[in-house]
């Protein structure tokens, strides 16, 4: 019977357990997207903390695909030694690390993107102030190539795999969603057309890295928005990707415009509130033969273990609990199985925007109080 701390393998990559660090923007890179020593130390702590696989914060493949400050970039060969330093640091600490490749699409602004944001269609995204420009066919082709180039660099620089960001309202998700994709060419309309961009990105990445290298996707199974992407379309995309050899699908849901049903829900303070994407992940799991990862609100050991043992999920992914406790996996392995101490308040975003990097604001207060006592 499958268990949380099983060692597993995905396309040649050994994972020491079934706990994944879900992609988490840290906001610790320089203006251009170059990793800093602070970021590398963050990854060292995560690797030492015992998770089976770290998925990096979202990393832009083209400068115009940048959103949020301090985001990682993989649009240039210039960052080779910095990323090699990051991957070797993780490996020396016994960890594995995949990089999450993203283009923010219309979910950014011209300050971060350096130009008017680009999107499948000129449809404004709630919570982002600017009307994006519709991508031309030529720009679509360039963007697909940029995902391929990002994957080539990632593999060459020692990453153990790549994950496409197909969730949370960013460009791939915008193509999939009828709310943001109003195109009348072969990239819009039916789900076959709306998923064309994703499949072309996946094929380009797969061609670039070859069959023996892990390629994953984080996929929205629902946008939780009226008129947005829904589970049946997500099932179609997942099924086709699985047929095409994707190595794992991480199921998420929601966008920053989805209110209480956004990707990082608040107040996950009792087990009934946990695992909020599990019903959608079950639907994906039923239809694909590749491993399925589920993210969203995992806080207690029991819920995580049951999700593997009874619900048949292959991996549990967590983001916020590992901001507060990078050593959570080791703590559970060593026998202290009390829940993650993260209270799901989302205060950690703010220092990423304003102070050059995320941290757990609550833990900092606890430490300061303890120091004064």
Ligand X SMILES: Cc1cc2nc3c(=O)[nH]c(=O)nc-3n(C[C@H](O)[C@H](O)[C@H](O)COP(=O)(O)O)c2cc1C
Interface residues with ligand SF4 (CB under 6 A) are 320, 323-324, 342-348, 360-363
Give dist(CA 224, CA 126) in Å, integer: 13
Residue 174 lies near ligand X (rule: CB under 6 A): no
* CB closer to ligand X out of 107 and 183: 107
Residue 296 lies near ligand X (rule: CB under 6 A): yes
Work out how close the CB of 26 gets to ligand SF4 at its nearest, in angstroms, rounded to a whole number: 12
318 binds, among ligand X, ligand SF4, none (CB under 5 to 8 A by kind): ligand X
Q: Are strands 118-119 and 53-60 parallel, antiparallel or unpaired?
A: unpaired
Site string for ligand X, 306-345 (x = CB under 6 A): ------------xxxx------------------------
Residue 176 lies near ligand X (rule: CB under 6 A): no
Q: How many CB atoms lie within 10 A of CB 354?
A: 10
Work out how close the CB of 243 gets to ligand SF4 at its nearest, in angstroms, rounded to a whole number: 37
Site string for ligand X, 233-272 (x = CB under 6 A): -------------------x----------xx--------
Sign of the dihedral through C-alpha 201, 206, 242, 291: negative
* Contacting residue, 69, 134, 349, 356, with ligand X by CB under 6 A: 349
Residue 22 lies near ligand X (rule: CB under 6 A): yes
- The backbone torsions φ and ψ at residue 250, rounded to the nearest 5 degrees and listed phi first, read -95, 125
Nearest partner of 126 among 286, 265, 254, judged by Cα: 254
Give dist(CA 231, CA 140) in Å, integer: 25
* Contacting residue, 155, 165, 194, 285, with ligand X by CB under 6 A: 165
Residue 348 lies near ligand X (rule: CB under 6 A): yes
Helix, strand, or coil (residue 272): helix
Q: Are 108 and 66 in contact (CB under 8 A)?
A: yes
Count of residues binding ligand X (CB under 6 A)?
26
Residue 297 lies near ligand X (rule: CB under 6 A): yes
The two structure tokens encoding residue 182: 């109003």
Q: Which residues contact 254 (CB under 8 A, 6 or more apart)?
A: 168, 220, 222, 223, 224, 261, 262, 263, 265
Residue 216 lies near ligand X (rule: CB under 6 A): no
Q: Which residues contact 183 (CB under 8 A, 6 or more apart)?
A: 120, 121, 134, 189, 193
The contact set with ligand X (CB under 6 A) reads 22-25, 57-58, 100, 165, 167-168, 218, 252, 263-264, 295-298, 318-321, 348-349, 352, 358
């Amino acid at each position: 019977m499958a268990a949380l701390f099983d060692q597993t393998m995905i396309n040649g990559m050994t994972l020491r357990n079934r706990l994944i660090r879900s992609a988490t923007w840290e906001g610790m890179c320089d203006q251009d997207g170059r990793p800093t020593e602070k970021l590398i130390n963050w990854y060292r702590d995560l690797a030492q903390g015992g998770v089976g696989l770290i998925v990096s914060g979202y990393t832009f493949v083209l400068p115009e695909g940048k959103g949020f400050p301090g985001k990682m970039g993989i649009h240039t060969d210039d960052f080779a030694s910095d990323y090699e330093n990051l991957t070797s640091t993780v490996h020396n600490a016994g960890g594995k690390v995949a990089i999450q490749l993203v283009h923010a699409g219309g979910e950014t602004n011209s300050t971060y993107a350096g130009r008017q944001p680009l999107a499948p269609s000129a449809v404004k995204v709630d919570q982002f102030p600017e009307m994006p420009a519709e991508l031309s066919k030529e720009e679509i082709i360039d963007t697909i190539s940029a995902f391929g180039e990002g994957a080539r660099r990632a593999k060459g620089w020692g990453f153990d795999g790549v994950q496409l960001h197909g969730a949370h309202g960013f460009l791939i998700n915008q193509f999939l969603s009828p709310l943001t994709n109003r195109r009348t060419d072969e990239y819009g309309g039916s789900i076959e057309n709306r998923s064309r961009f994703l499949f072309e990105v996946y094929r380009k990445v797969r061609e670039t890295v070859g069959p023996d290298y892990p390629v994953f996707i984080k996929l929205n199974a629902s946008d939780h928005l009226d008129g947005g992407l829904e589970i049946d379309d997500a099932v179609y995309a997942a099924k086709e990707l699985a047929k095409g050899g994707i190595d794992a699908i991480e199921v998420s849901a929601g966008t920053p415009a989805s209110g209480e049903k956004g990707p990082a829900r608040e107040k996950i303070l009792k087990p009934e509130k946990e695992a909020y994407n599990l019903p959608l992940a079950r639907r994906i799991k039923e239809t694909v033969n590749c491993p399925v990862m589920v993210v969203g609100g995992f806080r207690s050991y029991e819920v995580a273990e049951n999700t593997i043992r009874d619900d048949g999920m292959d991996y549990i992914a967590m983001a916020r609990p590992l901001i507060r406790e990078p050593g959570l996996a080791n703590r559970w392995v060593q026998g202290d199985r009390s829940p993650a101490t993260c209270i799901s308040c989302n205060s950690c975003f703010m220092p990423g925007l304003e102070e050059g990097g995320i941290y757990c604001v609550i833990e900092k207060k606890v430490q300061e109080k303890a120091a004064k006592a």
